[in-house]
Amino acid sequence: MQKIQIKNLTWIDITDPSHSDIDYLRSLDFHPVVLNELKYPTLRPKVEQYDNYLYMVLHFPIYHPKEKTSKSMEVDFLITKYALITVRYGKIQPLQEFWKKCENGNTEPDFYNSSASLLYYMIQELNKFSFRQMDHITEKVEKLEKEIFGTRRPQNEEKLVQDISVVRRDVLDFRRTIKPQDTILNSLRIRGVEFFGRITEPYFNDIIGDHMRVWEQLDSHKETIESLQQANDSMVSNRTNRIMKIITLFAVIVFPLTLLAALFGMNTHFMPIVGMKHDFWIILGIMVVGTILMLILFKKKRWL
């Protein structure tokens, strides 16, 4: 647990709360049900209003390069009039950066008005971090677009399909993390205004606006990657159809030639051409002429 005093505001940050941390929060008169929930991560976000504080749970996506996907990181907020307590389970880079900024005094002029302003700038930093987390998705989408619509198709199409699936999973995990917070942030605006007063409403409106911008960009990535997958599937399907077309035409050409060869290979007493001078070359010529005629026919029918 670490604590920082910013003029008339207090920020307490707790990482992986221990029994002593819970006992300290109990001495600050927080409800036992809330304290019990702080012991372990919570699966769903929420906001609850008590007499002297607000309790809120939010989740933010953190990208894991090794697993190539985004995972949800939880931050719990206990918000009183002039104190903000954050409880997190593991390291969260934007909170650590924001802590250093507060220690160095690199804050906005209205930062010290109330814990509502502190909460606003803190969530603003977390939303900015979410934007940065989407940079790798943007880069991957642009790379996939160049590979799919480039002048030369990649040789390993299976890898291309796999790369598209990995990006789709990452977008899905990102959306799954932040989607449930739509209603939570709207509830925060209502309860925050009731708790802090009408003067703080612009803070909560701006928090919702930042969240919507993150969501809209993520939704744009979702539509783009789905369109790229459809385009790639169409190209793969067209290529497969062309291959099947060539194989079919080859089979159509070979079948009569095989039939002709089988006829002349029959063990009968009388066989035309067989036994004549240059009979082999005559039969071979018939086959060649037949092949050329079929190719001309396919060309006129535009099957080639």
263-294 pLDDT per residue, tens:
677 766 677 777 777 777 777 788 788 888 88
Token pair for residue 171?
Answer: 């977008």
Residues 85 and 69 in one domain: yes
Look at the chain and report how many structural domains it folds into. Answer: 2
Query: Alpha carbon of 293 to those of 201, 224, 257, 275, 296: distances in Å?
Result: 82, 48, 12, 26, 5
Domain extent, residue 280, equals 245-300
pLDDT at 55: 92
Query: Alpha carbon of 87 to those of 67, 110, 234: distances in Å?
Result: 25, 24, 48
User: Which band of pLDDT confidence, cut at 50, 70 and 90, is reported for residue 77?
Assistant: very high
Which of 201, 218, 239 lies at the terminal end of a domain, its last residue? 239
pLDDT at 240: 82
pLDDT at 140: 87
Which of 214, 239, 264 lies at the terminal end of a domain, its last residue? 239
Q: What is the pLDDT of residues 167-188, one digit of tens each?
A: 888 888 888 888 888 888 888 8
Residues 130 and 29 in one domain: yes
**CATH at 233:** 3.30.460.20
Locate all alpha helices (DSSP H) within the chain, ordered by sequence: 19-27, 32-37, 93-103, 115-133, 135-149, 157-178, 181-196, 201-264, 279-300
Token pair for residue 12?
Answer: 């307490």
Residues 138 and 21 in one domain: yes
User: Which band of pLDDT confidence, cut at 50, 70 and 90, is reported for residue 237?
Assistant: confident
Residues 255 and 234 in one domain: no
Does residue 149 surpass a pLDDT of 70? Answer: yes
Residues 212 and 267 in one domain: no
pLDDT at 276: 76
Residues 258 and 163 in one domain: no
Residues 183 and 115 in one domain: yes
Residues 149 and 285 in one domain: no
Residues 168 and 264 in one domain: no
User: Which band of pLDDT confidence, cut at 50, 70 and 90, is reported for residue 81?
Assistant: confident
Token pair for residue 262?
Answer: 């089988």
Q: Answer whether 25's CB lies under 8 Å from 78's CB.
A: yes
Does residue 49 surpass a pLDDT of 80? Answer: yes
Residues 131 and 215 in one domain: yes
Nearest to 30 by CA among 66, 72, 65, 79: 79
Does residue 76 surpass a pLDDT of 70? Answer: yes
Residue with tokens 């005559």: 282
Q: What is the pLDDT of residues 99-117, one digit of tens each?
A: 887 777 666 666 666 788 8
Beta-carbon contacts of residue 119 (< 8 Å; ≥ 6 apart): 77, 79, 84, 203
User: Which band of pLDDT confidence, cut at 50, 70 and 90, is reported for residue 54?
Assistant: very high
Residues 31 and 140 in one domain: yes
Name the DSSP class of 75: E
Which of 215, 239, 263 lies at the terminal end of a domain, its last residue? 239
Angle between helices 201-264 and 135-149 (to 10 degrees): 30
Residues 235 and 158 in one domain: yes
Name the DSSP class of 277: T
